[in-house]
């Protein structure tokens, strides 16, 4: 491939592109770096250069009961939302790929809309529903909001996985005497393991971070982002940097976990293909 030049052979155009790429990465990562750096700053969130590096803000954070309550709430919400989204999102993907029914196009658009719709519209419309039905706002209403909005994530991920799935796999299972239910659990789900785990991780992380929908559906108990939001309105201290740094670390762990999972599965299939090629004497 002519265009895949090595670093030594960059022409002027690609040098400009490289410079641009470095600048964009700096733009994307600098705020995060600043955030982490100032979580160790003894003198508050601003001020250059940082002074008196300290772990005090973390100590303060670990003793901060309302934050930890909100973390627990967020974990509950994220877990429940994940269960709801997968319970309805996986069948929705199957329905979109395999069934024909009147209103299918509308159904598809409706399911996927929250993916791109600003959270405020989803949040407010649900607020009106709960208001009309007399449902008291609580963590439960947030769970319903997240669960519903994030069905879109489960459906897109699983739908993409289904399109890669060889239909003959399921046919072979039916052919061998397994009914639809057995086929679903023994063949369909194991083959979609990766998209389902990916969707679950993504839903969990998105729900942990979600604020626009929660903003309108919140009852007495805060989620973590809303707790942080409340504090931001009251004035900022590096304690918020500290909690943000910890959130960042956990997001990073989730990504690395997901990435390794995917790499492992891809590598094994690649290795398999290589071995087949060797055995069959295929030059490719």
Partner 1 sequence: MFSRAYKAAVTLPPLIWVTAFLLMPYLLMFCYSFWSVSAAQTIEHSWNLSNYGQLLRVDVYWQTLLRSMWIAARVTIFSLLLGYPLAYFLSFYAGRKKDLLYQLVIIPLWVSYLVRAYAWKTILGSDGVLNTLLQYVRLTKHPLEFLLYSPFAVVLTLTHIYTPFAFLPIYAALEHIPRNLVEASHDLGATPGQTFWKVIFPLSIPGVVAGATFAFVLSLGDFLAPLLLGGPSGIMISNIVVSLFGAAYNWPLGAAISFCMLLLVVSLLFFSERLEKKWSFS
Partner 2 sequence: MTTTSEISMSLAGDGLSRATLLSIRNVAKRFGKNVVLRDISLEVAEGEFLTILGESGSGKTTLLRIIAGFETASAGEVWMGEERLDREPPYRRRVNTVFQHYALFPHLTVEQNVAYGLRVAKRPEAEVISRVSEALEKVKMSAHAKSKPSKISGGQQQRVALARALVNRPRLLLLDEPLSALDANLRRQMQVELKSLQREVGISFIFVTHDQEEAMVMSDRIALLRSGELEQVATPREIYGRPATAYAAQFIGHTNLLKAEVRAGVVRCGTLTWSAALPDGPALFSLRPENLRLVDGSGPTAGNALVRGKVRHRAFHGATELIRVECADGLVLVVRTPGSGGLLDDVELEFSPADAILVRESPERI
Site for partner 1 in 242-271 (CB under 8 A): 244, 247-248, 251-252, 254-255, 259
Mapping DSSP onto H, E and C, the string for the chain reads: CCCCCCHHHCCHHHHHHHHHHHHHHHHHHHHHHHHHHHCCECCCCCCCCCCCECCHHHHHHHCCHHHHHHHHHHHHHHHHHHHHHHHHHHHHHHHHHHCCCCCHHHHHHHHHHHHHCCHHHHHHHHHHHHHHHCCCCCHHHHHHHHHHHCHHHHHHHHHHHHHHCCHHHHHHHHHCCCCHHHHHHHHHHHHCHHHHHHHHHHHHHHHHHCCHHHHHHCCCCCCHHHHHHHHHHHCCCHHHHHHHHHHHHHHHHHHHHHHHHHHHHHHHHHHHHHHHHHHHCCCC
Footprint of partner 2 on 13-42 (CB under 8 A):
none
| From partner 2, partner 1, none, interface partner of 49 (C-beta below 5 to 8 A by class) | partner 1
* Least Cβ distance, residue 206 to partner 1 (angstroms): 9
| From partner 2, partner 1, none, interface partner of 195 (C-beta below 5 to 8 A by class) | none
Decide: is 129 part of the binding site for partner 1 (CB under 8 A): yes
Nearer to partner 1, 28 or 278 (CB): 28
Footprint of partner 2 on 175-204 (CB under 8 A):
175-180, 182-183, 186-187, 190-191, 193
* Least Cβ distance, residue 238 to partner 2 (angstroms): 48
* Least Cβ distance, residue 104 to partner 1 (angstroms): 9
Instruction: List contacts with partner 2 (CB under 8 A).
Output: 166, 168-169, 171-180, 182-183, 186-187, 190-191, 193, 268-269, 271-273, 275-276, 279-281
């Amino acid at each position: 491939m002519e265009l895949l030049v090595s670093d030594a052979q960059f022409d002027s155009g690609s040098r400009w592109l490289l410079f641009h790429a470095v600048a964009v990465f700096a733009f994307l990562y600098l705020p995060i770096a600043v955030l982490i750096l100032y979580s160790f700053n003894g003198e508050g969130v601003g001020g250059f250069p940082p002074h008196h590096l300290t772990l005090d803000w973390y100590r303060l954070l670990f003793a901060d009961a309302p934050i930890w309550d909100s973390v627990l709430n967020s974990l509950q919400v994220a877990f429940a939302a994940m269960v709801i989204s997968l319970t309805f999102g996986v069948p929705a993907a199957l329905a979109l790929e395999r069934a024909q029914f009147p209103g299918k196009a509308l159904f598809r658009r409706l399911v996927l809309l929250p993916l791109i719709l600003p959270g405020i519209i989803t949040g407010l419309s649900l607020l009106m529903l709960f208001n009309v039905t007399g449902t008291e706002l609580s963590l439960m209403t947030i769970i319903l909001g997240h669960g519903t909005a994030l069905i879109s994530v489960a459906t897109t991920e699983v739908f993409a996985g289904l399109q890669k799935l060889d239909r003959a796999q399921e046919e072979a299972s039916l052919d061998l005497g397994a009914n639809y239910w057995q086929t679903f659990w023994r063949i369909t789900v194991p083959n979609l393991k990766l998209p389902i785990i990916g969707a679950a991780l993504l839903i969990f992380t998105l729900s942990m971070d979600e604020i626009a929908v929660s903003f309108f559906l919140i009852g007495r108990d805060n989620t973590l982002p809303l707790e942080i939001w409340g504090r931001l309105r009251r004035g900022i201290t590096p304690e918020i940097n500290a909690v943000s740094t910890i959130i960042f670390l956990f997001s990073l762990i989730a990504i690395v976990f997901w990435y390794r999972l995917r790499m492992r599965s891809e590598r094994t299939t690649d290795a398999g293909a290589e071995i087949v090629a060797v055995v069959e004497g295929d030059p490719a």
